[in-house]
């Protein structure tokens, strides 16, 4: 294992000579030509960063990275007058986007260099959320991967993705399964490698999840959470929660199933297989920032990836009750469906809700 320090998540070094205090966090400004954090591994890429990225796993092992799998993240100060409007431009040199209140991001044409230009006083967590969101999606599109909007765990040797619109409980269900011992492979973006169209593979990202406060409370995971500085919507501050020691799985994993989540409804959890046409429509709707992929001129790549996924990976509709306290019931249904072995959780012991599953702890 590499022993390079993972950096302080609350410190952001951006340019020369000054220091800002921003609430509880300090933003240090110093001139760094060379990325100094990492190397990390993200979706199989060797990533060096000028920003500490504590969510990521350090690149492990003795294997030297190949040039084509290397990505560098650099920092620049934001030029004056550049933080007024959000924009997305696909230009000659690459992609530029700006998120109001966060900063600018540039991804070069070869998608091996990301430049981050933070706005003054930005919440470093928010900056990383966008790095692991839109910027990661651009890297995926440009590097020939399909970024599916969803969270993913490893069940019986296969990657199982929970996908759906924001607020449908993807991260919550993945967290419930992760806390039952199934490694979390990624959250929000699932990078899928379709270079072998008969065997789609998931490239693990990191084992942290972004959760809203109600879910954080439900899982009683207060201490393992980094919270956003500002509230987001009526539910309040979201948090990035560490699920388990990072770095467990870095190798690609075969994609076993996709679960299509909608707003929870119904009484008993159940799943049903979508017809391939509906599977196509669902996956098409959950391409992460699909409009960006099309804007990058990658319509045909995107269409091919969606069709291949819909033809090769089963997509299930998952119905479940709208009750966070019953999330373990849903997790059990998914475990059983994938023959995944799991020891009873502490909560199940307390509640005595585990029935007829003696075989699964063997």
Partner 1 sequence: MTDSSLIARREGWIAAWVGENLIMMHAESKFYLNLTGSGSRIWELLESPRSVSDLCEALGREFDIEPDAARPEVLAFLNQLLLRKAIDVHPPGLA
Task: Write out the residues near partner 1 by the rule CB under 8 A.
Answer: 275-277, 279-280, 284, 294, 299-300, 303-304, 307-308, 310-311
- What is the smallest separation between the CB atom of 177 and partner 1, expressed in angstroms? 28
- What is the smallest separation between the CB atom of 191 and partner 1, expressed in angstroms? 21
**Can you tell me the distance from the alpha carbon of 10 to that of 24, in angstroms, rounded to the nearest whole number?**
9
Instruction: Give whichever of 284 and 329 is closer to partner 1, judged by the CB atom.
Output: 284
Place of tokens 């406060």: 213
- What is the smallest separation between the CB atom of 180 and partner 1, expressed in angstroms? 33
Instruction: Give whichever of 2 and 281 is closer to partner 1, judged by the CB atom.
Output: 281
- What is the smallest separation between the CB atom of 51 and partner 1, expressed in angstroms? 35
Residue 158 host element (H or E): strand 158-163
Instruction: Give whichever of 294 and 326 is closer to partner 1, judged by the CB atom.
Output: 294
- What is the smallest separation between the CB atom of 338 and partner 1, expressed in angstroms? 22
319: alpha, beta or left? (left if phi > 0; alpha if psi -120 to 50): beta
101: alpha, beta or left? (left if phi > 0; alpha if psi -120 to 50): left
Instruction: Give whichever of 31 and 311 is closer to partner 1, judged by the CB atom.
Output: 311
Token pair recorded at residue 192: 């899928």
Instruction: Give whichever of 310 and 327 is closer to partner 1, judged by the CB atom.
Output: 310
Q: How far is CA 25 from CA 9, 20, 226, 272, in A?
A: 9, 9, 12, 47
- What is the smallest separation between the CB atom of 158 and partner 1, expressed in angstroms? 20
Token pair recorded at residue 271: 């799943």
Handedness of CA 331, 336, 340, 345 (dihedral sign): positive
Instruction: Give whichever of 223 and 300 is closer to partner 1, judged by the CB atom.
Output: 300
Question: Please, what is the Cα angle at 357 between 354 and 362, to 5 degrees?
Answer: 120
């Amino acid at each position: 294992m590499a022993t390079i320090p993972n950096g302080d998540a609350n410190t952001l070094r951006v340019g020369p000579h000054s220091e800002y205090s921003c609430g509880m966090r300090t933003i240090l400004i110093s001139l760094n030509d060379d990325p100094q954090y990492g190397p990390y591994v993200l979706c199989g890429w060797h990533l060096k960063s000028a920003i500490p990225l504590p969510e990521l796993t350090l690149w492990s092992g003795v294997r030297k990275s190949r040039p084509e799998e290397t990505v560098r993240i650099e920092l620049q100060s934001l030029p004056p007058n550049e933080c007024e409007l959000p924009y997305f431009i696909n230009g000659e040199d690459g992609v530029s986007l700006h998120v109001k209140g966060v900063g600018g991001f540039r991804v070069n044409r070869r998608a091996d260099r990301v430049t981050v230009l933070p706005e003054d006083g930005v919440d470093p967590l928010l900056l990383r959320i966008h790095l692991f969101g839109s910027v990661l999606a651009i890297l995926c599109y440009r590097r020939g991967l399909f970024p599916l909007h969803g969270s993913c765990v490893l069940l019986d040797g296969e990657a199982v993705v929970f996908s759906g619109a924001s607020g449908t409980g993807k991260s919550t269900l993945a967290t419930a399964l992760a806390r039952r011992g199934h490694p979390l492979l990624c959250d929000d973006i699932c990078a899928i490698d379709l270079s072998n169209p008969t065997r789609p593979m998931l490239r693990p990202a990191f084992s942290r999840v972004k959760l809203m406060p109600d879910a954080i409370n439900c899982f009683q995971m207060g201490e393992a959470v980094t919270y956003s500085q500002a509230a987001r919507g009526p539910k309040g501050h979201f948090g990035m929660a560490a699920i388990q020691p990072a770095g467990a799985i870095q190798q690609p994993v075969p994609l076993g199933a996709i679960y299509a989540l909608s707003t929870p409804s119904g009484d008993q959890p159940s799943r049903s297989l979508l017809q391939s046409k509906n599977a196509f429509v669902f996956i098409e709707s959950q391409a992460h920032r699909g409009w960006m992929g099309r804007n990058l001129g990658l319509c045909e790549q995107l269409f091919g990836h969606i069709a291949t996924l819909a033809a090769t990976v089963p997509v299930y509709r998952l119905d479940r009750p709208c009750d966070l306290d019953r999330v373990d019931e849903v997790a059990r249904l998914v475990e059983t469906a994938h023959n995944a072995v799991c020891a009873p959780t502490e909560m199940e012991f307390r509640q005595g809700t585990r029935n007829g599953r003696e075989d699964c702890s063997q």
